[in-house]
Amino acid sequence: MAAIKHRRTALERVEKFLSDTYFTDCNLRGRLFGDRCPPASLSYFQTPRRIPYEEAVVQEFRPAQVGESFGPTWETCWFKVELSIPLAWAGREVHFVWESDGEGMVWRDAQPVQGLTKEGEKTSYTLTRSLKESEPHSLTLYVELACNGLFGAGKGSMIAPPDPDRSVTLSKAELVVFNRDVYELLVDLEILLDMAQLLGEENQRSFQALYTANQMINVCDVMDPSTFPAARDLAAAIFSQRNGESQHTIHAMGHCHIDSAWLWPYEETIRKCARSWVTVVHLMEHNPELTFACSQAQQFEWVRSWYPGLYARIQDFVAKGQFIPVGGTWVEMDGNLPSGESMVRQFLQGQRFFQEQFGRICSEFWLPDTFGYSAQLPQLMHGCGIQRFLTQKLSWNLVNSFPHHTFFWEGIDGSQVLTHFPPGDSYGMHGRVEEMLKTVKNNKDKGRVNHSAFLFGFGDGGGGPTQKMLDRMKRMSNTDGLPRVQMSTPDQLFSVLEKESSQLCTWVGELFLELHNGTYTTQAQIKKGNRECERILHDVEVLSTLAVAQDSVFQYPASQLQRLWRLLLLNQFHDVLPGSCIQLVVEDALQYYTEIRRAGAQLQEEAVQSLCRDLLQPKARSTQSTLMLNTLPWERTEVISRPGPDGTETLALVTVPSMGYALVQEPFVPPQPVAVRKQEDGSITMENGVIAVCLDTMGHLTSLRLLDSGRESVPDGCYANQFALFDDVPLYWDAWDVMDYHLETRKPVTTLLKPLEITLAGGLRGSVRFSLQVGKSSTLTQEIILDARCPYLRFLTQVEWKEAHKFLKVEFPVQVRSTNATYEIQFGHLQRPTHWNTSWDWARFEVWAHKWLDLSEHGFGVALLNDCKYGASAHRNILSLSLLRAPKSPDSTADIGHHQFTYAVMPHRGSFQEAGVIQQAYNLNFPLHAVPASCAQCPAWSAFSVSSPAIVLETVKQAEDRPEAVVVRLYEAHGSTVTAWLQTSLPVKEAILCDLLERLAVQGRLPLEQQGLRLSFTPFHVLSVLLVLSR
């Protein structure tokens, strides 16, 4: 009988029929499970360690009960579950159901078989689809339970510091009969209900879905499964009504974003990978259409080492094209702070791993969750065999909505990559109707492209896809009213986007995330460890390469360097280097830096001993002298400090050739020694023939002049080197965010503890010292140092930091007018506005830079250099360096303690390029190495030099696959087109251009000429050359 249908009551009728809360005694949901049966026996053993299966199963287990709690946080409980399936269940589908607040892994026959997390909607393990008499009815499973949730154990909120005393409760452990016919009907009705609700009252299709669902309830008797097929036929009739040809196509891919460390330590991530990936493999065995995109070579390496059986199954599915390695990097690293060479090594280590393990490199760069993307990345991708990029993080922008989802992204050198942001603005979709509709509606490139990505699966803490997600999407594959949904791969998606790309727009420059700007400063010790260890590995590679070239016996420490690089790359993960992780992770990261420093120092010493052996050997009646080594590609004249004969430090002015060494020549008096004078008002002046400075008793810079021109850098009545403290209370993301409104809370630091006093009276070096109180209980002591012949004034700073939710910066108002400031990035620099004209401008109130930033007008400028800081800003004429933050989540101890760092100010004539700001910033970051020697005379020696100041020789290393060859990497740093000569004293017999993966270029052979190698550069071009040495 045709009946009047009220839309609201019909909708709610369907909702209640599916509800797991209401009417479960008589609705369909209440029939999902049939008979239940407890385990024959349940026992457990607890350990603070994460131990292998073999070790766990031989422990002594004691009885456990459902309803019991286990803990505390980070402990592991192993449960032995003995099951006996009732004979009466023959022919039925039997599941083992397990519900707890912790993350579980089922082990069967000594292999991991299924991850279990309530938060990831995985609470059962299928024992059999249809119980046969021949199958064993009694079996033993082990469940490895981590006493932490999918997102760690935050106390009160997800990102709060972990609660150390949290326990997890085991709420269910039982055998159940699973009624698959009920499940399939539930999924049908769920999709129809969503279509009815979401397509809207004005849509005919919405009513078709609603009336069909209503009719299905009419024909369905929940107590009589024989009525189910008729109800399912009604749903099938709707789902089989096809789309038109113009409908948008969604490319669905399984995905499971696993943070390599975040609210849990690295060691827990290893298990998260196994729990998530074993579930994916299990799904693939029953769903041959399932594809799964998986990034981060480090995670594959972890699983390979810890779970070889699972890894072998993964390799099989990689070969079948279902389990798809993507990204090409060692980890999903931060996109702003790692150096250019570190980014190259992310790709080099990642792509080589994927090639060795799976016989192919990745063709897509995959970085969905990182806090902004450097404008140098497109060129680095190109150099590593990648021309496609996927992310979605810019959908988090706080101020401006990014105008595209599919576009070409152009880097500072002009390289372009096809870029796609999934228009659903997520990498953790669940396969629901609402998400499909959002993907189509939200797409900002309608009319340009008609395909988009849809990444489904629980993520961040792992989890991955579920069977239900797949079953939802099967029903939506080609259904009128919804976009077309197909299982796809990154390659299929990008291939079709490439075919449609003729109308795509181009975005030039950085992809700046208008959020999480605090990550440039949080956890200063991690930032410092990163910068130091990048330097250490650079120096070890340079010196080891030179040692190999000079000494046929010396072995290049390739395997040790790979191990250290991989530790450094791991710490560049996008929640570690940015500082947005818990204290346990910070401790691990700092320990890895300590190991790189320790092993790096030893490798460096071995290389130096080999390279300079004849100069270092103690000889009879030999004189003590000092050998200086320079690992940078230009000659340097600097004041150095070295231990004197009586153990005290003595100073010397030394000149050391490019990438080489020289003995300290005694004595070398500078033509213009440093003069330090105290004035009557307590202020102090210092000058060195290049610059003259005046400092007041509080350490403010009141004057900074270039002596040759007399040009003043500090505006009248202003103080440079002014410390300022800001309130720093973000809206939610504590370690991540510094908000625009923090600028309204500026308080200059004005409490003097010790006034300015002279500590070195001049000669080769002048220095002064003062101390301030910062905030309520912190202290800052600074030594301001001027060296002979040095173009910059440096500030050696020590802080005892004890603040909460405060932000410390140092400001330099300068007498320069420019609408743009320049910031160093990887292998180059870019400009950002100094004004806030538009929302795009003021959203960049806090930005990042590497070793320097500069504000210049025609003919004059001022640069700020630093040795370990990344946060910065330039507004109007004030250059500001961000020094320390004090967030309380997710690490309540973040940044509390002692800090030491150096920054410097450098006024200059002309442009920063002509003035050598780039080189001086390198010099500040790469100190000369002093080694005690035993000969009075030796000629200075240089291994490499470059004829143009625009070209930086960044890297000298042994080739990955050719021990007899060296790879050198150079880049154009000025933003100019230039030809330069690379000269070397190494015995080079052949030179061939190569890419960043060290694959030789076709017709890349370079002629060896009298002047060296002739190399041509366009602006910011990165060039790698393989040099074959003759033995």
Residues identified as active-site: 369
281 in helix, strand or coil?
helix
Residues 6+ apart with CB under 8 A from 539: 600, 604, 631, 926, 929
140 in helix, strand or coil?
strand
Cα-Cα-Cα-Cα dihedral of 487, 491, 495, 496, to 10°? 20
Q: How many beta carbons lie within 10 A of that of residue 605, not counting itself?
A: 14
Tokens 């990034």, located at residue: 295
876 in helix, strand or coil?
coil
Q: What is the DSSP letter of 196?
A: H
Distance of CA 90 to the CA centre of its chain: 51
Which amino acid, 458?
A: F
Give the residue from 696, 740, 695, 749 showing the smallest Cα distance to 722.
749
Sign (positive or negative) of CA dihedral 131, 135, 136, 139: negative
Residues 6+ apart with CB under 8 A from 656: 628, 629, 630, 635, 636, 638, 662, 928, 940
CA distance 964 to 987: 11
CA distance 193 to 450: 27
Tokens 């390289």, located at residue: 415
Residue 937 vs residues 322, 612, 626, 666, 678: alpha-carbon distances, Å: 66, 13, 11, 11, 41
Q: Where are the beta strands (DSSP E) in 422-505?
A: 451-456, 484-487
By residue count, the chain amounts to 1031
**End-to-end Cα separation, the chain, in angstroms:** 96
Tell me the backbone φ, ψ of residue 857, rounded to 5 degrees.
Answer: -110, 180
Residues 6+ apart with CB under 8 A from 12: none
Residues 6+ apart with CB under 8 A from 329: 295, 296, 297, 346, 347, 349, 350, 365, 367
Strands 416-420 and 388-390, sheet pairing:
parallel
CA distance 486 to 452: 11
Q: Find residue 783's DSSP bridge partners.
A: 769, 796
Question: Is the separation of the CB atoms in 493 and 402 below 8 Å?
Answer: no
922 in helix, strand or coil?
helix
933 in helix, strand or coil?
strand
Residue 606 vs residues 556, 558, 611, 616: alpha-carbon distances, Å: 10, 13, 9, 12
Q: Which two tokens stand for residue 250?
A: 């969604």
760 in helix, strand or coil?
strand
Give the residue from 784, 760, 780, 756 showing the smallest Cα distance to 770.
756
Question: Is the separation of the CB atoms in 943 and 986 below 8 Å?
Answer: yes
Residue 247 vs residues 251, 448, 451, 493, 1030: alpha-carbon distances, Å: 13, 14, 9, 16, 63
Tokens 């403010």, located at residue: 700
CA distance 150 to 460: 8
Q: Which two tokens stand for residue 712?
A: 């003043």
Question: Is the separation of the CB atoms in 817 and 857 below 8 Å?
Answer: yes
